[in-house]
Structure 1
Amino acid sequence: MPDLHHVTTIALGLSGAVLAALALIALFRLVRFIRADRPTRTNLRTASRIRRNWRHLASALSLEATDRIPTTMAQLTTKTGQKPEPRTLTPSLRTRVDAAGVTVFMNTVPGVGLEKVTAVTDDLANAWECARVSVSQERPGLLKLRAVRTDPLGETTHYVPDGTAPAELTVWPLGVDEYGDSVPVALSNVPGVCVAGLPGYGKTSLINAFIARYAPSDAVQFAVADGKASTPAQGDYADAAGRLFAFTGDDLEDANKLFARLVQLRCDRMDHIRAETGSGNFWETGPSRSWPLAVLIIDEAQTFFQQPKGNDPKTKRLAALAAENVRLVEDLVKKGRSVGIVTILATQKPTGDAIPTAIRDVCPVGLSFAQRTAEGAVAALGDDIRKAKDADPCTLQDPAYVGVASMRTPGRSGFTRVRTPLTTSEDTARVTAASAYLTADPATLLPRGEGPDPADFTKAA
């Protein structure tokens, strides 16, 4: 028989260890609370309330499942003649706090997954006294809920370029997501980017900020086809005009010449890339002064692709030019990746008549600012956006969300809502004017050998 004193000593020791552990946890939480800033303290209290009231709230919102198969223990402990009571399975959760809000990681149970939790996000937001709750699938069996007391997407951010070349040219820091985290977009091995959205919600501002960011590098060169202007001085790219190696306005014939010359650049680069870089893929060595990343920006892209109606000679000629423009840009998007040509297309609603699907569907990066119709959202982001209520760009029509886009990118599951920073026209003009001396036609940087010289974009056709 064990010695009673010995057993008592062990029990007291274990109790003391448990109390000490609980005291340390309490002390840790107290110190964290005292050291936190005011918003984080508020969110710590919110997280505590979420955990404390979760079982009651989950029951009220039917976020639980019933297991009618008794466990072995239930079978052994149930009295003879009685039936074991079914178990109620409530998803377990843990929380993580920051200054913007609370991240809740929820383990799923049968019947309670992404779709069901998404349907009650408004109720969760009310119960947790938050501005918004969004849900995403972290991994199979685990959901990630983000509860924010203030909406990071509703706060305008600014990017002020300092005029120095970015250290990293293969990643585009697009903005911040609804968690306040940076959203990087890879440019390497990306043939095209499709940008959609209603007028005035951020498309051109995004592209001008992109130019201002990379203008100080001589390893990036820009060409623009602007479908809503006739000259650089008239359009949205007037502030960046000095940094463009080529520009065309809304004239279909001029645009056709530009696209044809870029296709020629693609062909010329393919002829020289192995000898000059030692590789058949531009991105293995990356952009450089002699082999710059060539960015073609096509704004109001539908201007250059849509087929005009009519049988008169002029209309037929314009229709032929539009069809040729489609063929040329399709060539660039499908074949330009390996030789360092990226095409950015912008339009309001990227349906098949605005940007042909042969071009649009090859662009791995797509983002949409506010849309008015579900048709526009689906055209920009695919049919899955119908199931993603939180990310639907139709919900971004509020003026507070100017500059906010929904997007899908390789390497990130589901959809991401991102706040893109505003860059003023004065900052764009300042940076591009200071770096105008870096402008070079990529075609003229290719080696001159036997045969015809590479196409020179700076010369008239």
Structure 2
Amino acid sequence: MEAITGYASYALPIATALVGVWLVWTAVRYVRADKGTRVSMRQAVRVRWGWVRLARMAGLTVTDKTPSLLAQITAQKDSPPPSPRVLTPKIKVKPDQYGVTVQARTLPQVGLEEYQKSARFLSDAWRCTRVSVLPDGPGKVVIRGVRSDPLTTPTRHRPTGRPPADLTRWELGVDEYAAKVCVSLANVPGVTVAGVPGAGKTSGVNKFVCDFAPSPAVQIATADGKVSRASEGDYADLVKRMFAFCGDDLDEANALFKRLVELRKRRSATIRDVLGVKNMWHIGPSPQWPLTVLIIDEAHTFFREYKGNDATTKRLAALTAENARLVEDLVKKGRSVGILVILISQKTTGDAIPTFIRDVCPIGLSFAQKTVEAAVAALGEDIRNWPDASPVTLQDPAYVGVAVMAMQGRPGYTRIRTPYVADANAARVADATSHLTADPDLCLDALLRATGRTATPPAALTKQP
């Protein structure tokens, strides 16, 4: 007894010290957090304290009539049976800027479906704008409650200036539950971006350029149909990090597309001998064999069908037809050799981007649209079945910078808030990384010399389809 008393005299100060440390740590976190996170931290406390009562009212508990082992052992022979136990799922709550994330256990007769049916009750009780329930492994669900709508909360992105850890990962922004949305670029030949003017198309692509510019394993070329020269328009601050740029001149665009098709042919002819693989994505991009990205903004400028019998119109019609054929070559044959085409247009209907190009691009994003037909052209016929996610609903100024896309592994369509990149930050990144700009053709020449080959065999090029 004396020994137990002696230990007890130490236990109380230790327990008090631990509680004090926890309180100080919590207070420091609260003070250092931003305003939104502080509100979420208070919300998380309410969620924890009110969970048992709320779970019972929402039907997320189970009555267990079987006595516990301890009750069976201590029960007297003639005593009445113990009262049934009400089991409540255990939860863990994590606050963030937008709301709370709750990890909950499942119970017999209280599974994923029951949580999803109770989502609207949880949303009201937790004072959330919306609540989602998704599986989180065997016997677990994750409940995401957002207090403020991430889609109507403008965000800014300040590029770090450091190379991305994974060149196959494109971080687009956050979805309507403030979860990060990323898409894989591996084995992707093309991306289409649609939306009315001023909806955020170019800003989203600017973020892509700023994030990938610090890597010498990425080289970018641009054809911008909105401007006549590099010093104009949305890419003026980024042109230093581009190995090629042209404006709305059809002849210059045609020359650029031909240049990249010849690069595609040379890479196709030499990839096995130089890299030892048939698909560049098996080993990933490198400074010697960089991922080559072609951005075509206002793509309809370069593919427009000209109609007329005069010589000038016929020449322009021939140029745009050849442009379409050249870009089709890049999209259909450039995937395995590391060429990615990003096509941007207000509408991605067949008259703006030929369907034989558009329909080969596996990733499609659409910012705000005015008509359902434009939304269908950008995202596919299935968008008619998801009217709440249609880009037609994004015409409010609060949704500038919000896009819709179909995500692999998710039903329906996902709405994404893309962040805004200030012009000053874009210029800073371009200046700091301009020395990394290199012509992929010259990179291939250097790689061929390093492997003992001085040129691409002519016969190999002529055999390309």
TM over 0.5: yes
Task: Determine the structure 2 residue equivalent to 1:327.
Answer: 325
Answering whether residue 244 of structure 2 is matched by residue 238 of structure 1, we say no
CA contact (8 A) 2:404 2:413 kept: yes
Answering whether residue 48 of structure 2 is matched by residue 42 of structure 1, we say no
CA contact (8 A) 1:129 1:149 kept: yes
CA offset digits 1:317-346 (Å, max 9, x no partner): 212211111111111111100000000111
Tell me the SS of whatever aligns to 1:435.
Answer: helix
TM-score (norm: length of structure 2)? 0.72
In 2, Cα distance between the equivalents of 1:51 and 1:250? 64
Task: Determine the structure 1 residue equivalent to 2:339.
Answer: 341
Tell me the SS of whatever aligns to 2:237.
Answer: helix
Tell me the SS of whatever aligns to 1:315.
Answer: helix
Q: CA deviation at 1:265?
A: 0.7
Tell me the SS of whatever aligns to 2:238.
Answer: helix
Query: After the TM superposition, which of the residue ranges 43-52 and 188-197 deviates more from structure 2?
Result: 43-52
Tell me the SS of whatever aligns to 1:193.
Answer: strand
Q: CA deviation at 1:413?
A: 3.8
Instruction: Determine which of 225, 228, 241 is the counterpart of 2:226.
Output: 228
Question: What does 1:240-389 align with in structure 2 at a 5 Å threshold?
Answer: 240-389=238-387
Counterpart of 2:204, as a letter, is L
In 1, Cα distance between the equivalents of 2:215 and 2:253? 26
Tell me the SS of whatever aligns to 1:239.
Answer: coil
Q: CA deviation at 1:164?
A: 2.2
Question: What does 1:52-451 align with in structure 2 at a 5 Å threshold?
Answer: 97-99=93-95, 100-101=98-99, 129-132=127-130, 147-446=145-444, 447=448, 448-449=454-455
Counterpart of 1:449, as a letter, is A
Q: CA deviation at 1:186?
A: 0.8
Identity %, equivalent residues: 55
CA offset digits 1:243-287 (Å, max 9, x no partner): 111111112222111111111111000111111111010111111
In 2, Cα distance between the equivalents of 1:312 and 1:47? 76
TM-score (norm: length of structure 1)? 0.73
In 2, Cα distance between the equivalents of 1:393 and 1:46? 34
Tell me the SS of whatever aligns to 2:191.
Answer: strand
CA contact (8 A) 1:47 1:102 kept: no
CA offset digits 1:298-324 (Å, max 9, x no partner): 001111112123232222221221111
CA contact (8 A) 2:219 2:437 kept: yes
In 2, Cα distance between the equivalents of 1:53 and 1:161? 43
Query: After the TM superposition, which of the residue ranges 156-165 and 263-272 deviates more from structure 2?
Result: 156-165
Structure 1 residues 53 and 340, CA, compared in 2 at 3 Å: closer, same or farther?
same
Q: CA deviation at 1:97?
A: 4.8
In 2, Cα distance between the equivalents of 1:155 and 1:246? 35
Tell me the SS of whatever aligns to 2:40.
Answer: helix
Counterpart of 2:298, as a letter, is E
Counterpart of 2:325, as a letter, is R
Structure 1 residues 399 and 121, CA, compared in 2 at 3 Å: closer, same or farther?
farther
Structure 1 residues 367 and 319, CA, compared in 2 at 3 Å: closer, same or farther?
same
CA contact (8 A) 2:112 2:134 kept: no
Aligned residue pairs total 387
CA contact (8 A) 1:51 1:94 kept: no
In 1, Cα distance between the equivalents of 2:51 and 2:382? 30
Q: Which runs of 5+ in 1 are unaligned?
A: 1-30, 59-91, 456-461
Q: CA deviation at 1:414?
A: 2.8
Q: CA deviation at 1:296?
A: 0.2
Structure 1 residues 411 and 286, CA, compared in 2 at 3 Å: closer, same or farther?
farther
Counterpart of 1:370, as a letter, is A
Structure 1 residues 329 and 339, CA, compared in 2 at 3 Å: closer, same or farther?
same
Q: CA deviation at 1:52?
A: 6.1
In 1, Cα distance between the equivalents of 2:263 and 2:179? 38
Counterpart of 1:360, as a letter, is R
Structure 1 residues 49 and 318, CA, compared in 2 at 3 Å: closer, same or farther?
farther
Counterpart of 2:304, as a letter, is Q
In 1, Cα distance between the equivalents of 2:315 and 2:202? 30
In 2, Cα distance between the equivalents of 1:344 and 1:257? 18
Counterpart of 1:157, as a letter, is T
Structure 1 residues 143 and 329, CA, compared in 2 at 3 Å: closer, same or farther?
farther
Counterpart of 2:403, as a letter, is A
Q: CA deviation at 1:386?
A: 2.0
Tell me the SS of whatever aligns to 1:339.
Answer: coil
Structure 1 residues 358 and 50, CA, compared in 2 at 3 Å: closer, same or farther?
farther
In 1, Cα distance between the equivalents of 2:115 and 2:304? 43
